[in-house]
Amino acid sequence: MTASAPVLIASDLDRTLIYSAAALALGLPDAKAPRLLCVEVHEGKPQSFLTETAAGILAGLAGSPHAVFVPTTTRTRQQYRRISLPGPPARYAICANGGHLLVDGETDRDWHASVRRTLAAECAPMAEIQDHLRRTADPRWLLKVRDAEDLFTYLVVERALLPDTWTKELADWAEPRGWTVSLQGRKLYAVPRPLTKSAAVAEIARRTGAGTVLAAGDSLLDADLLLAADRGWRPGHGELADTGWSAPHITALAERGVSCGEEILRAFAAHARRH
């Protein structure tokens, strides 16, 4: 790494940096709760938040000439565009779990075409996966089946009624077809194995000449991102925490909820300054 090489900071968004009202986990008396900044509105209602302190740190990172901050999400492009993060707009962003690499807000068509070719060559078609989901899911707990940009699919479920055995059976069925399964809150994702955040991050690192990659995430869909980074952080909540997932270069934080988002940003800023 040369002295001028920027630090690439690739972070998951939901339940890593930004939090819904249900996921805030403030754990404080109301009078001592931190001030919150709303960064997403959906259907006229406030949807996602971070603390004002976290917002200030993020604005500094996004505007730093020594860092490249890359929002890295499983959200579709439409869902991502509802978010208005502090600081200048990110030059690069990753949506649809790596299926779309945005440059100044627009899809890089060459990257997307390359992803499509890989999925067609290595994975069962999504129609086969969705047909299996519809045939095997129980209407008592299935609320919706969603197509995410024709790249992956997910179910919205009544979590309390969803049998653990069904998720395991689905994962076992999907694995030889080149797909992975991840349960996050009320959403159960089925995602092609080659569709990864880490591949898109590696492409951005190549383009920017980044010398160090820092990353954070809370779900099993973030595991490849964290493993590919030089340093990573995971919250004290989420799939990775629930399964005890870790790696030598990953810091498993004890904090939960929106305060953990602030702690992650502090870690990003501290390590970015060292480089």
Token pair in block for residue 228: 């590919």
What percentage of the chain carries pLDDT values higher than 90?
A: 92
Nearest-angstrom CA–CA distance, 250 and 221: 15
Residue 266 has pLDDT above 90, yes or no: yes
Angle between helices 258-274 and 52-62 in degrees, nearest 10: 30
Residue 3 has pLDDT above 70, yes or no: no
Residue 162 has pLDDT above 70, yes or no: yes
User: How far from 80 is each of 75, 100, 120, 209, CA to CA, in Å?
Assistant: 6, 11, 25, 25
| Per-residue model confidence (pLDDT) at position 2 | 44
Through-space distance between the first and last CA atoms of the chain, rounded to whole angstroms: 10
What percentage of the chain carries pLDDT values higher than 70?
A: 98
| Per-residue model confidence (pLDDT) at position 275 | 67
Summarize the confidence of residues 45-60 as an average pLDDT: 97
| Per-residue model confidence (pLDDT) at position 47 | 97
Closest Cα partner for 196 from 94, 269, 52, 125? Answer: 94
Write down the pTM of the prediction. 0.93
Nearest-angstrom CA–CA distance, 68 and 45: 30
Token pair in block for residue 252: 């498993």
Question: Across the beta sheet with 231-234, what order do the strands follow?
Answer: 67-71, 7-11, 212-216, 231-234, 250-252
| Per-residue model confidence (pLDDT) at position 211 | 87
State the average pLDDT for the chain.
95
Nearest-angstrom CA–CA distance, 255 and 163: 29
**Contact status, residue 177 vs residue 62, Cβ threshold 8 Å:** no
The b/e string for 10-36 (b: 16+ C-beta within 10 A; e otherwise) is: bbbbbbbbbbbeebbbbeeeeeeebeb
What are the beta bridge partners of residue 28?
none
Residue 1 has pLDDT above 90, yes or no: no
Which residue is listed with tokens 């990353």? 215
